[in-house]
Structure 1
Amino acid sequence: MDLDGTLLDLAASPDAVSPGEGTQDMLQTLEAAASGALALITGRPVAFVDSLFPGYRFTVAGLHGTELRPGERIAPPGAAETFAGEAPTAAFRHGRDLVRNAAQDLPGVLFEDKGRAFALHYRQAPEHRAEVEQIMERALICAGEGYLLRPGKCVVELCPAGADKGTAIRRLMAEPPFAGRIPFAAGDDVTDEAMFRVVNEMNGLSLRIGEPEMTRDSLAMAKLPSPADFRTWMRRIA
């Protein structure tokens, strides 16, 4: 499942999200019931996800599938992350610096450094959407081959090409404890549609979180209006 806007309520800034009381316990209960076959598939880096759930390692596909790290129920302590694509290049770092500096001139626009990716958030300043898109287009040209832009809810992100949430699902479903199971995926944004497409192809269940006007064209088979509704549903089955 996705994190921001799906499991967790969206926040004014990227660093302000919080799992809330009981969320980690609920996830660990569900993970145990599924013999470890639970994964968080997110645009966030693995390290950030770990910071949300202190003292425990879930299986995480970070940066839209660029990073993959098995959880502690299915791998020994210290299990390494695997990465898709090359390490950040000098051109990538130059583009990142360009975006960081440009964001300082746009009140309300927030820069997020994800290590192998970076993003500009304009949730607090939607009037700057066009400028954000132009800045990120310039950054993509600067970064060169091997990268792409992922637009989302009031955000534009520059990420390594060659991986998405759909490829993350395929990688997970090819290995224990996920192999042979019927997949379920939940998400709230356009970046989650790749995940829904793969899950639907595998005859699984896909769920889009959001108000009807935001989910009308989704590939998801089912809909829920908010993260709170999704958490309520998960607690019922935990």
Structure 2
Amino acid sequence: MGPFHRPALFLDFDGTLVEIAERPDAIRVPEDLPKLLHRLAAALDGALAIVSGRPLGDLIHYLPVPLPLAGEHGAALRPVPEEPPLRPDLPQPPAAWRARADALVAEYPGTLLEPKAHGFVLHYRQAPEAGAPAHALMASLVAEDPAAFTLLEAHMAWEIRPRGPSKASAVRALMAAPPFAGRTPLFIGDDVTDEEGMRACRELGGQGWRLQEAFGTPAELRRWLARALNPHEVPPSLEVTP
């Protein structure tokens, strides 16, 4: 394949830029990753964004560089690093839902509940036997208000989130304004949660790549991104063959 001209680059975080960990707070961010992303964003005239399911606060903590960010699958958007994030008015799940999820976590040691502003995630990576009951519980909760909430599958986890925002909506919002507008979008992710963003990029005339198929591992992706900056500065296009 040929060069990917004037790209707008959208990158997932967990499992894509950094390796998946047993717990969300146990990830290891390579020391040089923030600097690499900062340099790459500058070379792309700012058209690089992190699009993640994590809260914006997590992304800012792990990547302390001025990048456009989309958190919580598009429910929180920071298109301009120097400006406050955009947060649409979204519903929050009832407290009783969280209590029922807490009860399941207490029943299955190793499971973990990750709270978010407008939902929560039930992780069972350290307790695989909890996968089926976790799915059953989360699906039953969403069934109580399917017009407002949806259930999202992730790496050995189930997430309840509001309907409406998605990684696709985040991509489309960013692509509608500088510095992304007029560029060809490329989304790289590793999970089913990234398929929406990939599909949006394809519909906008770009590409969506699964990490496992295009690179194999986050380390290989980081090496590919670093090579895009060699020998001295990023070229005006990215070679689409990793």
Question: TM-score normalized by structure 1?
Answer: 0.86
Partner of 1:68: helix, strand, or coil?
Answer: strand
8 Å CA contact 2:112–2:124 kept in 1: the answer is yes
1:154 is matched with 156
State the identity as a percent: 36
1:188 deviates by 0.3
Partner of 2:184: helix, strand, or coil?
Answer: coil
1:163 deviates by 1.5
TM-aligned CA distance change 1:143 to 1:50, over 3 Å = farther
Question: TM-score normalized by structure 2?
Answer: 0.85
Partners in 2 of 1:153 and 1:196 — Cα distance?
17
Mean alpha-carbon deviation: is it higher for 183-192 or for 140-149? 140-149
Which 4+ residue blocks in structure 1 deviate beyond 3 angstroms?
A: 141-145
1:83 deviates by 2.2
2:88 is matched with 84
Given the alignment, which residue of 46, 52, 55 partners 1:42? 52
Partners in 2 of 1:97 and 1:179 — Cα distance?
43
Partners in 1 of 2:29 and 2:63 — Cα distance?
8
Partners in 2 of 1:129 and 1:11 — Cα distance?
17
8 Å CA contact 1:92–1:144 kept in 2: the answer is no
8 Å CA contact 2:12–2:190 kept in 1: the answer is yes
Partners in 2 of 1:234 and 1:11 — Cα distance?
22
The number of residue pairs the alignment matches comes to 219
Partners in 2 of 1:83 and 1:207 — Cα distance?
28
8 Å CA contact 2:91–2:162 kept in 1: the answer is no
1:14 is matched with 24
Given the alignment, which residue of 188, 191, 206 partners 1:189? 191
In the alignment, structure 1 residue 102 sits paired with structure 2 residue 104: yes
1:203 deviates by 2.1
Given the alignment, which residue of 78, 90, 95 partners 1:69? 78
1:28 is matched with 38
Cα RMSD for the two superposed structures = 1.6
In the alignment, structure 1 residue 231 sits paired with structure 2 residue 222: yes
Unaligned runs of 5+ in 2: 1-10, 230-242
1:6 deviates by 0.4
1:146 deviates by 1.0
Partners in 2 of 1:57 and 1:141 — Cα distance?
39
1:205 deviates by 2.5
Deviations 1:169-217 (Å, cap 9, x if unpaired)?
Answer: 111100111000111110000111111111112221222112x6xxxxx
1:143 deviates by 5.5
- Structure number with the bigger relative contact order (C-alpha 8 A, sep ≥ 6) is 2
Partner of 1:183: helix, strand, or coil?
Answer: strand
2:85 is aligned with what amino acid?
Answer: E
Partners in 2 of 1:195 and 1:67 — Cα distance?
15
Partners in 2 of 1:86 and 1:195 — Cα distance?
20
